[in-house]
Amino acid sequence: MLPPHTPAPDPVREPWRASMRRALDEAARAAGSGDVPVGAVVLDPAGQLIATGHNEREATGDPTAHAEVLALRRAAGRLGAWRLTGCTLVVTLEPCTMCAGAVVQSRVDRLVFGALDEKAGAAGSLWDVVRDRRLNHRPEVIHGVLAEECAGLLTAFFRDR
């Protein structure tokens, strides 16, 4: 039995913590180049890492160079197919509408994210593009994995600007 002050393990979020830590490492790389610290990783159906990405808009001058889009592109390149069926996208921040659209279009089975984005989130907070019943694909969504750490990285980045 756990001591009274120890929270019970979360069986939904716990399996994704290690992957989210890898996404947090990617997010830190973005901050190093002046980009908003968002990181993403793509896991294959067996749970193995196949691609990573972090925001590179400032570094590349590309408005579409969001962590999720870059990670999905790299995963598709690695697999040789645009359909990422069976894959999981793990990202530190709730995807925006562009990235949520890319999640749907790539056919990933699962989206796991850390912090909510109440200003631009499109996976449940402001909009819910990924679960819109009018679309042909709706991935499973798991949110709140290491949410405080993910949000803290963003808060520190903007506080220091």
Burial of 122 (0-12, 13-18, 19+ CB in 10 A): buried
Distance from chain centroid for Cα 29: 15
* Sequence-separated (6 or more) residues with CB below 8 Å from residue 90: 16, 19, 20, 22, 23, 40, 41, 42, 43, 112, 113, 145
96 annotated as belonging to a binding site for a ligand: yes
5 annotated as belonging to a binding site for a ligand: no
68 is catalytic: yes
87 annotated as belonging to a binding site for a ligand: no
Catalytic residue among 68, 94, 118, 140: 68
- Catalytic site residues? 68
Binding-site sequence positions: 66, 96, 99
Please enumerate, by residue number, every residue annotated as part of a binding site for Zn(2+): 66, 96, 99
